[in-house]
Chains A and B, each alone.
Chain A
């Protein structure tokens, strides 16, 4: 479904991505791991179109993603969360999730915005009905993520773990086909991260979407992902099942450094 090929991106002299290529199939859970600075988040930002790669191609379900603007990506069915939470601070939890519905509204679908703008201004029945349906669906998603009790809270007033789940709700509410998660377990304790793995599995079965997650929590990645891709200095150094990757010497070297006897030889 997602096909990345020969992707390269340099920031000045720093080669952040070098000839990166891999696929994600529909409904698959793929982990993207690697030491800090390996280019994981850079890759996600290429998919979100925040960064323009120098060369290479990204295709999603037959569409050339490199022709899309950042706000068009979600229309194709790719939603994401952010490593350093990007919630709308002035909005309630419910409103945050409702922003996530933007592309499904008449406003988001309209070419000129003019019709939906007038309908909203004059509170025409069409606008009211749409708003009600939207709220019902958003509350359903909040309920699915055990967030309905904080729906009216300002998003910034929530503890960190709940805020991460609000981001998840905001991404899920468009029923994405591919969900990009940037360190979903960052800052969680082992118990919470175990619950997260359970939740992500439940999301896959309920919403039928593929997951591509950037993560440092190896217990989570190895327990959850069907396939793992390892980046180091912007290159894919290994990919395969969690078992294959864990025993791959290149991966061990990237994480732990080369064994001493190898150097002395």
Chain B
């Protein structure tokens, strides 16, 4: 796709997202806002897994750390939202360093298990440290205020999410198209060649953890602002798995795919909650279908369609052209 078309598509998506704030009923704005939160978290996970090739099923742990940091800063210390938000990202990024350093020695399934341990441990810590976090009863999060403006209704909260999704998407795209993104991709595709080109494995694997943790922290702070209440199970293992499926459905190493995947799966989960167990069956079926039919994820659907069209055209040409004598 040419750069101009991409710009037109991104611009169109932004206009549609803002227009939705004035057209859709409140419940849908809430759902879209939630999709935006998970999109930010998935953008971060994608930097780590899709780009740097480090598997993590503990990403909800970073979301939890961000959510509790922002909630406690606002609720207990009276820090304004605009400071609590980046602080949540930074604290989470700090924990990302702590997880990234031991993760250097692990890869593949071993890393996956270590990150699994991380998310389980984080959930337990927030659950048991009840004097600070309220334990399993959860924590009420104050409504975010920007200066004198208190964002209390669904529309303004949704618009806040749109702005942040916009910024975080733009940052991710810029990073990916810079030497940073290339270094991450390089160490995913060939560690020896990346090192021979001067890319330090230590630095860039840890950096991938830090960046993805930062995104997770921002998503967590935003989740608290949007929902108004957080408790440890909101960020458990199932959420981690949900984020991994958003990434796979959207397409590894695809930025727009994260937005599409988060939107689809969040709507799917929330709208079909009435179906109970059947929902899980449909969900599993949907995942399998996506993996089989669009293995690159939905974010790559346009190029997949182009490829299919070429294949059909070729087979038509083969069928209807006169066979040449051998």
Contacts and interface: CB of A to CB of B under 8 A. Distances in A.
Contact of A74 (B182, B196, B203, B207): B196
> Which residue of B171, B175, B179 has the most chain A CB atoms within 10 A of its CB atom?
B179
B175 A121 contact: yes
> Which residue of B182, B183, B200, B203 has the most chain A CB atoms within 10 A of its CB atom?
B182
Contacts of A90: 185, 188-189, 253
Contacts of B185: 88, 90-91, 95, 99
Given A88-B193, A102-B183, A131 B198 contact: no
Contacts of B194: 71, 88, 99
A105 B179 contact: yes
B182 A121 contact: no
B190 A123 contact: no
B198 A102 contact: yes
A170 B195 CA distance: 13
A72 B175 CA distance: 23
B178 to A, nearest CB: 3
B263 interface: no
Contacts of B180: 107, 113, 116-117, 120
A170 B197 contact: yes
B129 to A, nearest CB: 31
Interface residues of B, number: 26
A86 B203 CA distance: 21
A222 to B, nearest CB: 28
Contacts of B188: 90
Task: Using C-beta atoms within 8 Å of the partner chain, give the interface range for chain A.
Answer: 35 or more
Given A113-B207, A121-B171, A123-B174, A82 B192 contact: yes
Interface in B163-187: 171, 174-175, 178-180, 182-183, 185-186
A47 to B, nearest CB: 10
B196 A73 contact: yes
A96 B190 CA distance: 11
Contacts of A70: 192, 195-196
A80 B178 contact: no
A71 B195 contact: yes
B199 A99 contact: yes
B201 interface: yes
A153 interface: no
B253 to A, nearest CB: 7
A146 B231 CA distance: 60
> Which residue of A108, A116, A120 has the most chain B CB atoms within 10 A of its CB atom?
A120
A163 interface: no
A80 B192 CA distance: 11
Contact of B178 (A89, A100, A127): A127
A122 B183 contact: no
B24 to A, nearest CB: 31
A100 B197 contact: yes
A69 to B, nearest CB: 7
Contacts of A165: none
A66 interface: no
B199 A120 contact: no
B180 to A, nearest CB: 5
Interface in B231-255: 253
A89 to B, nearest CB: 5
Given A71-B198, A99-B194, A107-B179, 11 more contacts: A71-B194, A71-B195, A71-B199, A71-B200, A73-B196, A86-B196, A87-B189, A91-B182, A102-B183, A120-B174, A170-B193
Interface of B: 171, 174-175, 178-180, 182-183, 185-186, 188-190, 192-201, 203, 207, 253
7 closest pairs, A vs B, by CB? A120-B178, A103-B198, A86-B193, A88-B189, A70-B195, A86-B190, A74-B198
